[in-house]
Structures are given as structure tokens and as C-alpha cells.
């Protein structure tokens, strides 16, 4: 059974289609990175998942059941923007969490507060954006949740604490939790996630295991002395999924026979030609580019 099951989710605001027929699942013990440009529908997806907004159609289940207030006994959420009470202290927020959750672990909360160097006597209003995110993370992880939904969880944190957050995510998944998180920092997703889902214009345009996606394609990158020539013949070649020309750089996303394609490029007399492994950034940019094929994976 998946911890999170989203089936054919559609959400409209008036005439605006925010999420369009999205299906997504996250298994126990796995981390799914949700990627997409601004306005792709990630936050709306989170809102529907958390019952903060009502889906227009589709079904959402967490741990096999519809989302109710009881779901939040084991589902923790960290929003992108702080929703904490500015006039109350960190300690008072911890106290509210203690009173709300049977699973609250005070030792864990203290350990996490120390990790993020939080002063429990400080009012939230006196904290920086990063510190507020850290408080939200402490609250979320202190209940040892079975499901974690994190919207930009490392936002505003310094690189050391960003690493700590990623370690927390990986540790939680290793302990059996399902994690769905969004981030604009692809490096974070690459480090923490097993699978990615890429949204664009409210639709899921790519979904899959990161290693598999990376293994699927190679990039043939050629740099020319002057503007890169057009390669119309290769653009329609079955081996090539996409061609990018950017000044002197020619980049081809190749499904198969990357070395053969590189030899053909070599005939165009570039300064250099390299066959590169695909990065997650390449996969993401390929999925959200204008010529990307929806549901390409």
C-alpha cells in the first residue's frame, strides 16, 4: 500500500485549471521530489493532498484512507511560507505540538532544536525566514510522522542546515516514512529523492526513478568556434529526443547510440565533443521545456 495515493486529481479555480488529471503515488520508505516551475501546480497539489482545498475531481488517499483530521496524527507538513504565530515563542509552539500529538517526542524536539540552533524563548516574529522554517521542521519531525509533506523545506537555510534537512529526510525515509517534498534546488532533490515528479502547467510531465531516468539518456555536447550549425537531420533522428542550440553550444539529448551520434557531430568540425551523463537538471529542464512531450517517462 502506498502512503500517498493521488488519482486523477483535477483542481479548478473558476476557469483556471491549476492541476490537471494528476496521478502520483509515494510508497512507504521512499522520497519523492516534486519539481516544477513557479505556477506549475505544486502548491495546489499539496493543498488538495492536505485537505486545505477541495479537489474538483479525483481521489486522494493517505495510508489508504481519505484525508481527515485523524490523518494528521501521522502526517506532518511544512509549508513554504511560515504559518507560525509571530507573537508566540518557539517553546510555546512546541507546547502546542506536545498537546496535539500523542507521538510527540520531547527528546527528539530538543535534539532538533539544538541542531538548528534555535532559542526556544524567542518569539517567532523575531526569527529570520530560515529560522522559522527550522521551527516548522522541528515541529514536523518531533512527532516522528509516517508521512511528510514538505514544501521547500530548506528554504532560507544556510548550506550546513540545508544538508541537515536533507539528512533528516533521508533518515525519515530509512525509518519507513514516505516523504513528498518540493524544491527549486535540484541538487537537494537529487541528493534526497529516489523518485521525481515534474509538473508543468498543472500537468505531470515526467515521473520516474532518478537513476532510471538518468540511465535512459545521454547528452552529446559540442562546442563550436562560431555559432553552432543547425542539425535538422539529427533532430528528426529516432535516437535523438531533443536538440538545444545556444550560441556556440550544441546539445543533443540522445536515447541510444550516443557514441554514434557523437561521431556524426564530429563531422561538423566542432572544437570539442563530449558524451555526458544526464543530470537531474537536464532531466528537469528537458521535461519543462516548450518542446517536451507530456508524460514522457
Partner 1 sequence: MYYFYYLRARKRLIVFSSILGAIVLLNIALLPFSHVGQSDFTVGVSSHESGYSFGGIAQLHRLLQTIRIPFVILVTIAVALAAIFGTAAAASLSGQNRHLHFELTRPTSRRRLALTTFGMDAVAIAASSVVALVLLLVPFAILGSLDRLDFSPESFFVVAFGLGIAFMWYGLLQAVTVRMRGGGGAAVGISWAVFVTLSAMHNLPASIVGEPVVWIIHALNIFNPIVYLGKLFAPGYGAHVTSGPLPGSIENLITVWIIALVALAIAVVQRERMEV
Under DSSP, the state recorded for 85 is -
Q: Which one of the spans 81-89, 157-165, 186-194, 281-289 is the region binding partner 1 (CB under 8 A)?
A: 81-89
For residue 88, state whether it binds partner 1 (rule: CB under 8 A).
yes
| Identity of the residue, 118 or 252, whose beta carbon is nearer to partner 1 in the bound complex | 118
8 A C-beta contact, residue 59 and residue 8: yes
> Where is 94: in which H helix or E strand?
helix 90-100
The site for partner 1, by CB under 8 A, has a size of: 26
For residue 66, state whether it binds partner 1 (rule: CB under 8 A).
no
8 A C-beta contact, residue 221 and residue 261: no
For residue 60, state whether it binds partner 1 (rule: CB under 8 A).
no
Neighbours of 85 (CB within 10 A): 13
SS3 state of residue 243: strand
For residue 15, state whether it binds partner 1 (rule: CB under 8 A).
no
> How far does Cα 148 stand from its chain's mean position?
13
Q: How far apart, in Å, are the Cα atoms of 221 and each of 28, 196, 218, 238, 288?
A: 38, 25, 10, 18, 20
For residue 91, state whether it binds partner 1 (rule: CB under 8 A).
no
Its sign, for the CA torsion 128, 133, 136, 141, is negative
Strands 272-277 and 218-223: antiparallel
For residue 224, state whether it binds partner 1 (rule: CB under 8 A).
no
Minimum CB–partner distance for residue 98 and partner 1 (Å) = 9
For residue 188, state whether it binds partner 1 (rule: CB under 8 A).
no
Q: Which one of the spans 26-34, 97-105, 188-196, 262-270 is the region binding partner 1 (CB under 8 A)?
A: 97-105
For residue 117, state whether it binds partner 1 (rule: CB under 8 A).
no
For residue 79, state whether it binds partner 1 (rule: CB under 8 A).
yes
8 A C-beta contact, residue 84 and residue 44: no
- How far is Cα 34 from Cα 195, in angstroms, rounded to an integer? 9
Minimum CB–partner distance for residue 158 and partner 1 (Å) = 24
8 A C-beta contact, residue 169 and residue 141: no
For residue 85, state whether it binds partner 1 (rule: CB under 8 A).
yes
Q: Which one of the spans 52-60, 171-179, 230-238, 269-277 is the region binding partner 1 (CB under 8 A)?
A: 52-60
User: Considering only residues 96, 170, 210, 297, which one is a binding residue for partner 1 as defined by CB under 8 A?
Assistant: 96
For residue 16, state whether it binds partner 1 (rule: CB under 8 A).
no
Q: How far apart, in Å, are the Cα atoms of 8 and each of 16, 53, 203?
A: 17, 15, 10
Residues contributing to the site for partner 1 (CB under 8 A): 47, 50-54, 68-73, 75, 77, 79, 81, 83-85, 88, 92, 95-96, 99-101
Amino acid at each position: 500500500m502506498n502512503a500517498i495515493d493521488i488519482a486523477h486529481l483535477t483542481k479548478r479555480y473558476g476557469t483556471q485549471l491549476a492541476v490537471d488529471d494528476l496521478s502520483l503515488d509515494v510508497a512507504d520508505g521512499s522520497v519523492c521530489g516534486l519539481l516544477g516551475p513557479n505556477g506549475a501546480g505544486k502548491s495546489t497539489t499539496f493543498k488538495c493532498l492536505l485537505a486545505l482545498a477541495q479537489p474538483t475531481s479525483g481521489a486522494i488517499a493517505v495510508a489508504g484512507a481519505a484525508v481527515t483530521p485523524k490523518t494528521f496524527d501521522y502526517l506532518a507538513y511544512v509549508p513554504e511560507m511560515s504559518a507560525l504565530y509571530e507573537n508566540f515563542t518557539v517553546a510555546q509552539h512546541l507546547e502546542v505540538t506536545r498537546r496535539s500529538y500523542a507521538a510527540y517526542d520531547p527528546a527528539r524536539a530538543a535534539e532538533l532544536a539544538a541542531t538548528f540552533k534555535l532559542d526556544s524563548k524567542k518569539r517567532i516574529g523575531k526569527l529570520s525566514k530560515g529560522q522559522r522554517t527550522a521551527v516548522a521542521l522541528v515541529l514536523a519531525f518531533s512527532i516522528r510522522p509516517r508521512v511528510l509533506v514538505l514544501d521547500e523545506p530548506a528554504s532560507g537555510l544556510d548550506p550546513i542546515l540545508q544538508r541537515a534537512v536533507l539528512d533528516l529526510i533521508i533518515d525519515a525515509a530509512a525509518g519507513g516514512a514516505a516523504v513528498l517534498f518540493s524544491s527549486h534546488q535540484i541538487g537537494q532533490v537529487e541528493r534526497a529523492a529516489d523518485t521525481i515528479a515534474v509538473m508543468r502547467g498543472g500537468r505531470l510531465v515526467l515521473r520516474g526513478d532518478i537513476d532510471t531516468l538518468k540511465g535512459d539518456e545521454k547528452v552529446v555536447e559540442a562546442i563550436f568556434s562560431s555559432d553552432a550549425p543547425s542539425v535538422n537531420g539529427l533532430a528528426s533522428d529516432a535516437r535523438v529526443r531533443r536538440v538545444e542550440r545556444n550560441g556556440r553550444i550544441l546539445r543533443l539529448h540522445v536515447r541510444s547510440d550516443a557514441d554514434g551520434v557523437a561521431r556524426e557531430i564530429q563531422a561538423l568540425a566542432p572544437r570539442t565533443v563530449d558524451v555526458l551523463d544526464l543530470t537531474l537538471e537536464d532531466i528537469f529542464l528537458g521535461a519543462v521545456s516548450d518542446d517536451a512531450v507530456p508524460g514522457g517517462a
